Structure 1
Amino acid sequence: MKYFVASGEDRRLTAEARHAMPGSFIELSDGITHYELTGPEDADVVVMAGGLTIPLFYWDSLATELNIRGLRTLTCSAYGRGYSDRVRARYDEKLFVRQLAELTERLGLTTRPLHLVGTSMGALVSMTYAAQHSASVATLTIVGPAGLAKPRLTSPHRLLRSDWLAGLIARRRGRQILQGHLGHNVRDPELRTELTEMVLDAFRFEGSLYAVFDTLQHLPVSGREDLFRQTGALGIPTLLLWGDEDEVTPMAHFDTARTLLRPRQHQVIAECGHMAPFERPREVADQIAPFVAARTERLES
């Protein structure tokens, strides 16, 4: 799909634009990444990989809860999201895995195994990362993962297979589709408004809608059972979490995920939609922190 600037994208990600933004920025091989590294310096590090549209601020409350529980957290905006660069490379799993690998290495975090958390599309990125860097992953937490819906003719990577059609849909209906998607992510109306404002603010920067639709073209979010099965065979201690009212990746896929991933632990988060780390940060932290601690105790014993 040819790169484009959509209507409403009236800002550019320049050094001046980034100057007033919280967090840190680092230049990696594909572009500049916006990240935050917080919590006790000598603690285990939890690295978080987000979904299709979310910036790193999505993780703020969960990061705070994990920091309180004695864990260090690394959050970032994937390329094309938040205030990381909009790149002209193909937006696929290779790009996002490379971003995480380079970021953790450049920040000196690879001297001990990491605890990886992936939600929605980020779960697919996390599983791919784990397959490629299994020795550096101590635990894997998967939250409301994409990938288990059956492929259909209307699946995004099939519907958008044609560059011409992908560009047409993205330009004409991209923002409308984006807002509709955001409306289904969160159960609580107030949190839904907060999430929408957070995402749409970042989507004022040129190349944002292009990044989303190029991702939908090149990162399949259905028919990924083999990736789940491969992850389950890695032997990495895995925690599976799911919101009981998830409308994006429905609970109907929960048993399939359990069968394929073979998680050590699993938990359904009550009264929660698709974005459990954003909607129920305390409950999610209550699951992750002891899971990480148990693995650390085994490694040190």
Structure 2
Amino acid sequence: MKFFVASGEDRRLTPESRQALRGSFIELSDGVTHYELKGPEDGELVVMAGGLTIPLFYWDGLVTELHARGLRTLTCSAYGRGYSDRVRARYDEALFARQLAELTERLGLTTKPLHIVGTSMGAVVTMTYAAQYPSLVSTLTIVGPAGLAKPRPADPHRLLRNDLLAGVVARMRGRRILQGHLGHNVRDPELGTKLTDMVLEAFRFEGSLYAVFDTLQHLPLSGRDELFRQTGALGIPTLLLWGDEDNVTPLIHLSAARALLKPQEHHVIPRCGHMAPFERPRHVADQIVPFVAARAERLDS
């Protein structure tokens, strides 16, 4: 898809504009990545990969919970999200997995295996990363994963194969589609408003809608059973979490995910929509912390 600037994208990401923005920045091979590395320096490191639209701020509640329990965290905005570059490249899982790999290596964080968390589209990215670097993954936590719906003729990546059509749809209806998508993500309307405001604020930067629609064009979010199966065969200790009222990646896919991933543990989070780390950070931390601790103790012994 040809790069475009949509209506409402009235800001540009530059070295000067980033000086006033929250977070840290690093130049990687595909562009500048927006990240935050925080928490106890001696804590086990948890690396988080988010979904289709979200900036790293999405993780704030979970990050606070994990720090209070002794864990260190690395969050980043995927290319095209938050304050990371809107790169003029193919937005597929290879791009995002490469971003994670380069970021952790450049920050000197790969001297010991990492605890990786992926939610929604981020689950596809983290599974891709785990397949490429299995020795660098100590545990894998998958939350409300995309990828298990059956492919349909109306799937976005099928409809958007034509670059001209994709560009027209993105320009004319992109922001409306984005807002509709965000409205289905969380159970609590107040949290839904907070999420929408957070995402749309970052989408004022040029190239944001282009990045999302190019992702929809090149990163299939259905029919990924084989990726789940391959991940399950890696033997990485895996925790599977799911909101019981997830309307984006419905709970009906839990059985398939368990059969393919073969997780050591799984847990359904009550009164929770699609974005469990954002909606129920304490509950998610309650599951992640002992899972990470058990693995760390086995490695130490």
TM-score range, shorter chain: over 0.9
Consecutive unaligned residues in structure 2, runs of 5 or more? none
Which residue number corresponds to residue 263 of structure 2?
A: 263
| Structure 2: distance between partners of 1:296 and 1:256 | 28
Q: Give me the whole-angstrom Cα distance separating, in 1, the residues matched to 2:247 and 2:235.
A: 30
RMSD: 0.5
Partner of 1:66: 66
| Other structure's SS at 1:140 match | strand
SS at match of 1:274: coil
Q: Which amino acid aligns with 1:104?
A: T
* Separation in 2, partners of 1:96, 1:260: 23
Give 1:177 shift: 0.2
Aligned to 1:94: 94
Which residue number in structure 2 is paired with residue 205 of structure 1? 205
Q: Match for residue 295 of structure 1?
A: 295
Give a deviation string over 1:2-23, Cα, whole Å, max 9, x none.
1110011011011222111121
Report the residue type matching 1:117 in the other structure: V
CA distance in structure 2 between the aligned counterparts of 1:133 and 1:43, rounded to whole angstroms: 22
Cα offset for 1:32? 0.6
Is 1:275 the counterpart of 2:275? The answer is yes
* Letter matched to residue 173 of structure 1: R
**1:53-90 CA-partner distances (Å, limit 9, x unpaired):** 00000001101100111000000000000000000011
1:57 and 1:176 mapped to 2: Cα distance? 22
Q: What is the distance in 2 between the residues matched to 1:15 and 1:129?
A: 29
Q: Which residue of 1 aligns with 2:51?
A: 51
Q: 1:185 maps to what in 2? A: 185
1:263-289: CA deviations, max 9, x gaps?
Answer: 000000000000000000000000000
Q: Distance in 2 between matches of 1:296 and 1:204?
A: 41
Say whether residues 1:175 and 2:179 are aligned partners.
no
2:71 and 2:183 mapped to 1: Cα distance? 32
The aligned amino acid for 1:268 is V
Q: Which residue of 1 aligns with 2:139?
A: 139
Structure 1 unpaired stretches of 5+: none
Query: d(CA) in 2 for partners of 1:24 and 1:164?
Result: 36
- CA deviations 1:106-135 (Å, max 9, x no partner) are 111000000000000000000000000000
* TM-score, normalization by structure 1: 0.99
In the aligned structure 1, how far is the partner of 2:12 from the partner of 2:218?
25
**What is the aligned partner in structure 1 of residue 118 from structure 2?**
118
Residue 28 of structure 1 pairs with residue 20 of structure 2: no
Question: Secondary structure of the equivalent of 1:96?
Answer: helix
SS in 2 for 1:98: helix
Q: Tell me how far 1:150 sits from its aligned partner.
A: 0.4
- The residue type paired with residue 3 of structure 1 is F
Aligned-residue offset at 1:300: 1.1
- Structure 2 CA distance for aligned equivalents of residues 286 and 187 of structure 1: 20
The percent of aligned pairs where both chains have the same amino acid is 80
Tell me the matched-pair count. 301
Query: What does 1:197-236 align with in structure 2 at a 5 Å threshold?
Result: 197-236=197-236
TM, length-normalised to structure 2: 0.99
